[in-house]
Structure 1
Amino acid sequence: MTVVDAKCPGPKIKLKGKKFSAMLVTKPSNIHYLTRVSASHGVLILAGNRRKLFLDGRYLAEAGKTAYGNVEILDQKKMPEAIKKIKKLGFEGEDVSVARLGRMKRKYKNTKFIQTINEIENYRRVKNPDELRKILHACSITRKILKRIPGLLKTGRTEIEIVFEIIRLALALGADGMAFDPIVAFGENTAHPHHHPGQRKFKKGDLVQIDMGVRYQGYLSDFSRVYFTGKPSPEQKKVYLAVSEAKKKAESKVRPGISNRRLDQAAREVLKSYGFGKDFTHALGHGVGLDIHEMPSLSNKAPLVRLKKNEVITIEPGVYLEGKWGIRVEDTIIVR
């Protein structure tokens, strides 16, 4: 059981020097990060170290039990009065729709709304010890499930049936839920990185790809494993070796200060040396935390950023041979 320290303040966010004096936070994961409150609907006004969280009646009582000490929990009916007092208000550009922004501008004509991009997400990149503890526990549950996969693979079972078994195991092992819909792919379906599990039945000899993660106290894990249920072909052996070597090469370079593009390049160089450079069709990885895809994106096409100590990222090289099969191996790791 987690003991909540009601006096503990939330993460420090600096608005000094910005073009606005307060910020409207609407993205649920950002609200959770700043307040420790999980709610599907809510609005947070952030002003220096002061935080006002506006919720409807469904969440008010529970929020008061979990919120940080510097968070004031208020009925959402009081939000208009608070916004009207703010002359310049930042908002989350990637979360607020054009229609919603238009409604706010019409309602609060004396308030200037200023768009921000990844303002809170940049703070979320570096995890504190409590966040790392939760992520590591989610990873531990995930590894236990992946070790049990071979025992679930029975002739005639469908991909969807294995998905249900994974969810059952996750809950039985203490997860709060899944990080995302598990990917279970048999045979030729493994050639699609984001395959949607269906009624394809397992048969002995199939290549099996599992991509999954769990949620524990709000924080997520993300892993991928491939299972050979028969004797792998020479080509499958070669691809597995290439993917494993690419993953190992990239992981060996993970450290504070290295760029996201350099990590991606390191893995691609290995796959290219094996002749599979064009068959790696997605980014090497991404950040993980309250969301399954967080900053940074480990891609040579993404904006250049450098890793920071105690970021949590995935490393997931893969090779996909259209019409045949694919192999991807992924781990969630901490930048040390």
Structure 2
Amino acid sequence: MLKERARKILDSIAPRGFDALMVFKPENIFYLTGFWGESIAICTHDENKLFVPKLESTRALNESKNSKTITSVERGATLIKSIIPYLSKFRFYSDCSDYETIRFILPYTDNSKFVLDEGPYHNSRIIKDEGEIQKIKYASRIIDKLYEICNEEIKEGVTEKQLQSKLLYEAMNLEATSTCYPYTLNPFIIAGGSNSALPHFETSNREFTDGDFIVVDLTLRYKGYISDATRTFALNKVSPEMSKVYELVRRSQHQGVEHVKEGTECGKVDEACRNVISNKGYGENFIHSTGHGVGLEVHEQPWIRQNESRKLSRDMIVTIEFT
């Protein structure tokens, strides 16, 4: 399966005159080799080579598949130097986005032989195979279990961070790990009361109180693959206005799910959700995109947002998650 993934990407770049991949992002290296760690991969139709520092060599040998492991003594520049001899042998598509790495490489090649474009990697990863689907399903079932725990644990006097700690502990007991999402400091978003109005609120020591809405946004990784979901809980009795808005958002989400069909433009899914909200006078409060793809990253293609023309295809996995 991993060899087939590399072949698919290589076939997609062949018409442009390129015959190799130079891979730096951990997600793409894992996708192509099965190894997640400090490394650089070179993939051709003949073989995959995985370049790793000595401290990663044993793990790379044990975890990588269909790859020849080449060990460098040191990390950093020494590791990058180990791939220099290959720059004259192939024409590469690379996912590298690190300025210093690119500056180091360019004197040994030129723009006709080394292209920086992650598009072919994303275009392959956007369609999941059966193994990927099963891992994401399992991660989703773990999240479902955590929401059952929320029903028991959300009480007056419990803090957002206390709930987060409980959920993270239970998640790890179920073999899930944190996604280490780079744009938040906390593993989850737990936001009660007025905090719940901020889509990416940083979990705090605020205590839950009677009448709160509590937003619980959970992202978890299982064997490399991520599931992402958001639920809103009400603590005891909420105001009539809050109840009305909750039901409106629930109907909007339902409309979105109904539009998730093969051949539908992603922007039309967003529009279906947005129209339900806007028609009731709350359009200016819809400040979040409707959803996104999930896989090896928390947010990846396809994007369920306004004016997105990409059409949904079989075996894409998306969230409808503006709630």
Q: What is the TM-score normalised by the length of structure 2?
A: 0.88
**1:123–1:189 distance in 2 versus 1, CA, 3 Å:** same
Residues 246-297 of structure 1: CA deviation (Å, up to 9, x unaligned):
1111111111111111101111111112221111111110000011001011
Q: Tell me the equivalent position of 1:103.
A: 104
Q: Tell me the equivalent position of 2:202.
A: 196
Q: Tell me the equivalent position of 1:16.
A: 14
**1:179–1:219 distance in 2 versus 1, CA, 3 Å:** farther
Q: Distance in 1 between matches of 2:131 and 2:110?
A: 41
Q: Distance in 1 between matches of 2:111 and 2:291?
A: 43
Shift of 1:179: 6.5
Shift of 1:89: 2.3
Letter in 2 for 1:196: E
Are 1:152 and 2:150 an aligned pair?
Answer: no
Residues 200-257 of structure 1: CA deviation (Å, up to 9, x unaligned):
1122222111000211100011111111112121211211111111111111111111
**1:102–1:148 distance in 2 versus 1, CA, 3 Å:** same
Q: Give the conservation status (yes or no) of the 8 Å contact 2:164–2:190.
A: yes
SS in 2 for 1:256: coil
Q: Distance in 2 between matches of 1:156 and 1:241?
A: 26
Letter in 2 for 1:58: L
Are 1:90 and 2:96 an aligned pair?
Answer: no
Letter in 2 for 1:316: E
Matches within 5 A, 1:174-189: 174-178=175-179, 180=181, 181-189=187-195
Q: Tell me, which stretches of 5 or more residues in structure 1 are unaligned?
A: 1-6, 318-327, 329-336
Q: Distance in 1 between matches of 2:90 and 2:60?
A: 28
Q: Tell me the equivalent position of 1:321.
A: none
Q: Tell me the equivalent position of 1:32.
A: 30
Q: Distance in 2 between matches of 1:79 and 1:110?
A: 20
Q: Distance in 2 between matches of 1:132 and 1:197?
A: 30
Matches within 5 A, 1:163-182: 163-178=164-179, 180=181, 181-182=187-188
Residues 142-169 of structure 1: CA deviation (Å, up to 9, x unaligned):
0000111132223322211211111001
Q: Give the conservation status (yes or no) of the 8 Å contact 2:87–2:108.
A: no
Q: Distance in 1 between matches of 2:263 and 2:276?
A: 22
Q: Give the conservation status (yes or no) of the 8 Å contact 1:246–1:268.
A: yes
Q: Distance in 1 between matches of 2:90 and 2:169?
A: 50
**1:155–1:175 distance in 2 versus 1, CA, 3 Å:** same
Q: Give the conservation status (yes or no) of the 8 Å contact 2:84–2:108.
A: no
Q: Tell me, which stretches of 5 or more residues in structure 2 are unaligned?
A: 73-78, 182-186
The number of residue pairs the alignment matches comes to 307
Q: Distance in 1 between matches of 2:239 and 2:111?
A: 69
Q: Give the conservation status (yes or no) of the 8 Å contact 1:170–1:178.
A: no
Residues 44-75 of structure 1: CA deviation (Å, up to 9, x unaligned):
11223521111112222222223222x22112
Letter in 2 for 1:305: R
Q: Give the conservation status (yes or no) of the 8 Å contact 1:257–1:307.
A: yes
Q: Distance in 2 between matches of 1:163 and 1:290?
A: 23
Are 1:208 and 2:210 an aligned pair?
Answer: no
Question: Relative to total residues, which structure has the larger helix share, 1 or 2?
Answer: 2
Are 1:129 and 2:130 an aligned pair?
Answer: yes
Q: Give the conservation status (yes or no) of the 8 Å contact 2:2–2:32.
A: no
Letter in 1 for 2:315: N
Q: Tell me the equivalent position of 2:42.
A: 45
Once superposed, what is the RMSD of the aligned Cα atoms?
2.1
Instruction: Give the % identical residues.
Output: 28
Q: Give the conservation status (yes or no) of the 8 Å contact 1:179–1:221.
A: no
